[in-house]
Amino acid sequence: MNAPNLTLQRLTHNIDAATAPTRAESEAERSCIRNLLNCYLREVARPRGQLHERLDPVLRQTLPLGWRHGHSRRHWLMLPLSYTGRQLVIAVSRRSTTGNYRYALPILARQTDGGPAAWQPIGARQLARALIADLSLAEGVPFNLELLQQIEQSQAVTRDILARRGHRAEPFDDDLYRYSEQSLAFGHPFHPAPKCRQWGEPVNEADYAPEYRGTLQLHWFGVPAELLRVETVAPLTPERLLADIAQDAPPSERVAIPVHPMQARYLLRLPAIRRALAEGLIEDLGPGGEPYAPTASVRTLYHPQRRWFLKGSLNIRITNCVRKNAIYELESALAIQRRLQPLQAELSERFPGFRLLGEPGFLTLELPGCDTDSDKAVQEGFGLIVRENVHAALAPGEQAILAGALFQEGAPLADRLPIADRRLWLRGYAEALIPPMLDAFFRHGLIFEPHLQNTLICLRKGYPSGVAVRDFEGVKLVQECWPPERTQDLSPRARRSVLYSEAQGWNRVRYCLFINNLAEAVHYLCNDSAQLEAALWQTIAQVIRGYRDQCDLPRARALLDPLLDGEPLPSKTNLLVRFHKHADRLAGYVPVDSPFNAKPFNPETGA
């Protein structure tokens, strides 16, 4: 099949202007309900044995007749919230081993303490309150109002994104990569508040958020060269890094360094920066230069003709974390670069098509006369990591696309790909992604984080020709493979952040690779066909088995055999970590039934 180049297709998600607000509101509501159920069923109900996949006949008869008839061909789930005396009944298209359900609305709820009450539809806000209230009583902690507010804010942002898109056709030019980075209208499907952004002040989100498909100008400061801290890994030099960035700088007799425009607002409020400006030590040059496009992470900026992505600090909480570049993260990015750079050629030779987007340099500002807290705030506030532009990693005839944009709710780009054989497509993707991730872990003690937002798929005529993995903040080292004498260049704080036990690392690899990434790919590629879903997981198992059979490392077989035999897979607890107000690094894992050991599809029952 001579598939057309994807850039020739017009990709739109156009909603008629007259119905945009209503459609946007209903789609945002549906998305919020889906995320809440995804998280709660996977993290709480299933592990704690609360989810019932068979409804008692007596209970069935209490359901509204119209609801029963409307969902007669669907699979029904019953979720008791026993601490608050409530029951939920949920209609899904079919059973799902990995919890990737397709929900049919409305969800029904009733209060059972004090006698059965009538079933009523339950909306997103009511559902969030009900789940948080029951979980609060179960855990013996106060109701988490902050989490409820984050869920509501995320839903409101999603609604605004969809409404604004609905009033105009979305232009699609030749930069498929940028289009994909700015396509995530719904975000992480297993996070309770994937679009929560706490800007800290009134802003027009469309000025800064990628989903509105806009661009922004960098904000510049002029600083004396002697106050800069610039570190690089050869062949990049500090002089070359600064020269590359200076292409977009306003005129200045000093060295001009950029920050995100929202970060400039934060920095200009710091007493140390205000003092330095008043004394003439540094200069506020304002906005200038070529516009950059915000990518899916919001704070990392892209320009197709520039050598580097700019991953700057943004002192704003987005989902779980304040997105600043901590000092130890600046240092550890270069430490990882030093270890990966000599291995990249070996990995690419062993696994053709595999690419890494290097992060060979950072810069920040060190002001004199600051106390410890002010010095930290300034260094972190100006912290900037440069990352290789994806276009430098592409071969002639290839395009790059963000994996998360292919496999998302709404109108996934996977539906627009010229795919004649979805099993063949997935095999190409799995072969490009799985073996290098496993080999890096088993052979080199490197723990990548290949989730959907860190994985760029290289395409040739619509089919995978390779992958590029990015973001060294998520790369860790297996401590059993990296003893102290091999990590002496890391500060104690950086060492604590990058060293994981083998067990921790294996959890991270399995979660990112199989649950966050490939489970979502299978979910959308199978288009709710249980037979195709099973065939796609068999394809993935064949790729894993092929790597295991050719790998000469006993540790690989010791961990891959149980994986292929159907041991549960770990899934990160995004809901519980927000519920308990923990830092993201403290998130745990819950077991998910393995798709490699799923029961055969029964065409008579649809299960």
pLDDT per residue over 3-16, tens digit each?
333 332 323 333 34
Q: Which helix (H) or strand (E) element contains residue 388?
A: strand 384-388
Q: What is the pLDDT of residues 547-578, one digit of tens each?
A: 999 999 999 999 999 999 999 999 999 999 99
Q: What is the pLDDT of residues 197-221, one digit of tens each?
A: 988 888 899 999 999 999 999 999 9
- The mean pLDDT value for 92-105 works out to 92
- The mean pLDDT value for 379-404 works out to 95
- The mean pLDDT value for 134-142 works out to 96
Q: Is residue 597 predicted with pLDDT exceeding 90?
A: no
Q: Look at residue 172 in the predicted model and tell me its pLDDT.
A: 54
Quickly state the pLDDT bin for 181 (edges 50, 70, 90): very high
- The mean pLDDT value for 114-120 works out to 80
Q: Look at residue 21 in the predicted model and tell me its pLDDT.
A: 56
In the chain, DSSP finds a helix count (H) and a strand count (E) of 19, 24
For the chain, what are the domain ranges?
17-157, 176-184+209-387, 396-565
Question: Nearest 5°: CA angle at 499, between 593 and 441?
Answer: 55
Please tell me the least confidently modeled range out of 15-29, 176-190, 465-479, 548-562.
Answer: 15-29
**Cβ(413)–Cβ(180) below 8 Å:** yes
Please tell me the least confidently modeled range out of 164-173, 243-252, 438-447, 533-542.
Answer: 164-173
**Cβ(254)–Cβ(226) below 8 Å:** no
Q: Look at residue 413 in the predicted model and tell me its pLDDT.
A: 65
188: helix, strand or coil? coil
Quickly state the pLDDT bin for 22 (edges 50, 70, 90): confident
- The mean pLDDT value for 80-101 works out to 93
Q: Is 190 exposed, middle or buried (0-12, 13-18, 19+ CB in 10 A)?
A: buried
Q: Is residue 601 predicted with pLDDT exceeding 70?
A: no
CA 136 to chain centre: 27
Quickly state the pLDDT bin for 73 (edges 50, 70, 90): confident
- The mean pLDDT value for 155-162 works out to 94
What torsion, rounded to 10 degrees, do the Cα atoms 596, 570, 574, 456 define? -60
**Cβ(66)–Cβ(559) below 8 Å:** no
Q: Look at residue 14 in the predicted model and tell me its pLDDT.
A: 38
Phi, psi of 292 (to 5 degrees): -110, 155
Quickly state the pLDDT bin for 168 (edges 50, 70, 90): low
Q: Look at residue 10 in the predicted model and tell me its pLDDT.
A: 29
> Distance of CA 219 to CAs 250, 293, 452, Å?
9, 14, 30
Q: Look at residue 587 in the predicted model and tell me its pLDDT.
A: 87
230: helix, strand or coil? strand
539: helix, strand or coil? helix
For residue 228, how many other CB atoms are within 10 A of its CB?
Answer: 17
Q: Look at residue 97 in the predicted model and tell me its pLDDT.
A: 87
- The mean pLDDT value for 375-392 works out to 96
DSSP class of 513: I
* CATH number belonging to domain 396-565: 1.10.510.40
Please tell me the least confidently modeled range out of 377-381, 416-420, 504-508.
Answer: 416-420
**Cβ(195)–Cβ(157) below 8 Å:** yes
Written as six digits, the tokens of 80 are 């008791």
